[in-house]
Amino acid sequence: MARQALKKLGTGPPDAREEIIRLCSRGRLEDALHHRFREGLWSEPNLFSHLFRACRSIPLLRQLHAFAATSGAAADRFTANHLLLAYADLGDFPTAHNLFERIPKRNVMSWNILIGSYIKNGDLENARKLFDEMPARNVATWNAMVAGLTNSGLNEESLGFFFAMRREGMQPDEFGLGSLFRCCAGLRDVVSGRQVHAYVVRTGLDKDMCVGSSLAHMYMRCGFLEEGEAVLQVLPSLNIVSCNTIIAGRTQNGDSEGAFEFFCMMRGVGVEANAVTFVSAISSCSDLAALAQGQQVHAQAIKAGVDKVVPVMSSLVHMYSRCGCLSDSERVFFGYSGTDLVLCSAMISAYGFHGHGQKAVDLFKQMMAGGAEPNGITFLTLLYACSHSGLKDEGMDCFELMTKTYGLQPSVKHYTCIVDLLGRSGRLNEAEALILSMPVRPDGVIWKTLLSACKIQKKFDMAERIAGRVIELDPHDSASYVLLSNIRATSSRWEDVSTVRKTMRKHNVRKEPGVSWVEFKGQVHQFCTGDKSHTRQREIDECLEEMMAKIRQYGYAPDMSMVFHDMEDEEKEVSLAYHSEKLAIAFAFLSLPEGVPIRIMKNLRVCDDCHIAIKLMSKVTGREIVVRDVSRFHHFKDGKCSCGDYW
């Protein structure tokens, strides 16, 4: 039948050709083939290109290839290029390469197809080899290489390709420019980005939605939020890409409140959010610890049908965890039926921050049993969970599994967790030896972790030596000076405490003021240490005074070693009483219904005195109090804390 059809060269009516094209565009290849045989139009090369594009299986493509060769259509360069593209798209690279070698009078499109296919497959070596062998290149060739290198994280090489393209006189189009701005964003190279921005303005492409969004993203990733938003303001209209760029940019640059405001504005003007939008909006709520707003965004994600998209679910797990609602994190996590590495890592991290190390270990084992292969991030979240819960043996086993079984190279963050575990068990010399012998360069955080362990284990001589290393690494970090000052104050070395404070003044280092906040009816109430500006301050003072009197009956005695030694005892006690977390808790007692857990967020580490006081508050009131400090969560209940008094 096919042979008879081949004899009828070009006899098919125009409506038959249009019907075949329509069927192919809808993926109905078998219907198109039957129609084709019926009309006997196999000899028309332009129809083969549609058939090849619609083909989704190698065996069928080979049959079509045979028909094209028999009819003589395969000798047509246009048809051969589309056949080459079909083989490459289906992953048959050996056949694609052999076909490429046999294409008569190959043109730039032939080369571009094969280069693009290698890049799509991650084979940049063969793509670069073909690129170097090409007799001639066009803009699409350069675009493919720039995009491929950028997508593979080879940003410096990508930037080099772009400038080589310009030297050859090529004018980049919107696709190449989009890749280039992503490259500059990856490098945080705002200087090169501005140079290309000038070119974009001269060519008028700054009004292009794709180019404008990529340019704005570059500025925001480099920390220039205002310039990024200024770029978006000249675009002809708002779309989901530009909106996502603004929301993500504000979130990444610390303006989480602005990100959430823009999300609400975007929804108000009718731009429909997608999964990417929700991830950024949820992240902004997470940073703000704004539970009510986070719940609203979650509800909108459900309505939009993206609440089961893994990145959205991972963001929700993180957001609820950061807001102190671990049970809601679990509810989201267990709503997913499969085993996803990113989602599991998010839940392991949530367990760790809340002090549920054993649950984190159990989940890790379940994940492994489900066939997921952990990466460095997964192991880091597990190590954090073990260190926050004091699971030394489990943590050391995890570290050995990571390095020996999976052959992963630990980062300084992984080693920091091990130092914390060793510090908890009093093995301080071993922890120091590990820092000095590890193959990666130690940072200030790992030394501060050991310094903190020295304080808790009361190894003051060692603490002095370690403090020198910490301050040398980061002389402008106030936390290091404060920790050293507290260590000296603990042993009543007041002259040495004064020396630390003089050194801070000399280097113009200022202690960050303590700030705590609590959410009530969708509004965040913020409290600063010693501040008395709240509208309900009189009630807060009375509540706090009453609370402090109650906990004194249970043995509370203010820890005055942390206060300036030249104060009178009464002044010291008042100073401690007005720490920001105590003010926030008093407000919460006044405002929240009986039985509702109190959730407080704090920008610094909870001090020893407040930690003791809050434990007793939870005991005398029967209320659960959850405090998120700079590094972890403290769940106070019945006079105990989830951190085991080591934080």
How far is Cα 446 from Cα 417, in angstroms, rounded to an integer?
8
Identity of the amino acid at 647? W
Residue 634 belongs to what H/E stretch?
strand 633-637
Which range (55-64, 160-169, 565-574, 634-643) has the least confidence? Answer: 565-574
Cβ atoms 29, 55 nearer than 8 A = yes
pTM as predicted: 0.70
Q: What is the mean pLDDT of residues 79-98?
A: 81
- Is 301 a domain residue? yes
- CATH number of the CATH domain containing 265: 1.25.40
> Of 189, 167, 121, which is closest to residue 144 (Cα–Cα)?
121
pLDDT at 262 over 60: yes
Name the DSSP letter for residue 593: P
Residue 219 belongs to what H/E stretch?
helix 209-221
What is residue 599's three-state secondary structure? strand
Q: What is the mean pLDDT of residues 247-271?
A: 85
Write down the mean pLDDT value for the chain: 85
- Tell me how many domains the chain contains: 2
Cβ atoms 634, 642 nearer than 8 A = yes
pLDDT tens by residue, 313-341: 999 999 999 998 999 999 999 999 888 99
pLDDT tens by residue, 451-505: 989 988 888 889 888 988 888 888 888 888 888 888 888 777 878 888 888 888 8
Rounding to the nearest 10 degrees, give the CA dihedral for residues 355, 359, 361, 365: -160
Cβ atoms 605, 633 nearer than 8 A = no
| 211-221 residues labelled b (16+ CB within 10 A) or e (exposed) | bbbbbbbbbbb
Cβ atoms 145, 119 nearer than 8 A = yes
> Of 330, 400, 314, which is closest to residue 362 (Cα–Cα)?
330
Cβ atoms 392, 425 nearer than 8 A = yes
- Is 308 a domain residue? yes
- State the helix-helix crossing angle for 108-120 and 124-133, rounded to 10 degrees: 160
How far is Cα 335 from Cα 329, in angstroms, rounded to an integer?
10
- Is 266 a domain residue? yes
pLDDT at 562 over 60: no
Q: What is the pLDDT of residue 21?
A: 75
Q: What is the pLDDT of residue 16?
A: 65
Percent of the chain with pLDDT over 70: 91
Percent of the chain with pLDDT over 90: 36
Return the HEC string of 75-109. HCHHHHHHHHHHHHHCCCHHHHHHHHHHCCCCCHH
Residue linked to tokens 């206060």 = 563
What is residue 171's three-state secondary structure? coil
Q: What is the pLDDT of residue 571?
A: 45
- Is 519 a domain residue? yes
pLDDT tens by residue, 391-432: 999 999 999 999 999 999 999 999 999 999 999 888 999 999
Instruction: Identify any residues that bridge with 627 across adjacent strands, giving them in sequence order.
Output: 600, 634
Residue linked to tokens 């073909």 = 130
pLDDT at 573 over 60: no
Q: What is the pLDDT of residue 566?
A: 43
pLDDT at 534 over 80: yes
Cβ atoms 183, 217 nearer than 8 A = no
- Is 29 a domain residue? no
Angle value at C-alpha 295, between 291 and 301, nearest 5 degrees:
140
Grade residue 604 by pLDDT with cuts at 50, 70 and 90.
Answer: confident
pLDDT at 72 over 60: yes
pLDDT at 639 over 50: yes
- Is 616 a domain residue? yes
Grade residue 9 by pLDDT with cuts at 50, 70 and 90.
Answer: very low
- Is 437 a domain residue? no
Q: What is the pLDDT of residue 576?
A: 65
Grade residue 565 by pLDDT with cuts at 50, 70 and 90.
Answer: very low
Q: CB under 8 Å to 86, separation ≥6 — which residues?
A: 52, 53, 55, 61
Strands in 633-637's sheet, in edge-to-edge order, are: 523-528, 515-520, 598-602, 625-628, 633-637, 640-641
| 48-77 residues labelled b (16+ CB within 10 A) or e (exposed) | bbbbbbbbeeeebbeebbebbeebebbebb
For residue 331, the enclosing domain spans 238-337
Quickly list DSSP for 391-417: -HHHHHHHHHIIIIIS-PPP-HHHHHH
- Is 401 a domain residue? no
What is residue 515's three-state secondary structure? strand
Q: CB under 8 Å to 166, separation ≥6 — which residues?
A: 172
The residue out of 283, 318, 337 marking a domain boundary is 337
The residue out of 267, 302, 337 marking a domain boundary is 337
| 409-427 residues labelled b (16+ CB within 10 A) or e (exposed) | ebeebbbbbbbbbbbbeeb
The residue out of 337, 367, 394 marking a domain boundary is 337
pLDDT at 18 over 80: no
Q: What is the pLDDT of residue 496?
A: 82
How far is Cα 342 from Cα 345, in angstroms, rounded to an integer?
5
pLDDT tens by residue, 178-226: 888 989 998 899 999 998 899 888 888 888 888 888 898 899 889 898 8
Higher pLDDT: 80 or 74? It is 80
Q: Residue 112, exposed/middle/buried by CB under 10 A (0-12, 13-18, 19+)?
A: buried
Which range (284-293, 538-547, 555-564) has the least confidence? Answer: 555-564
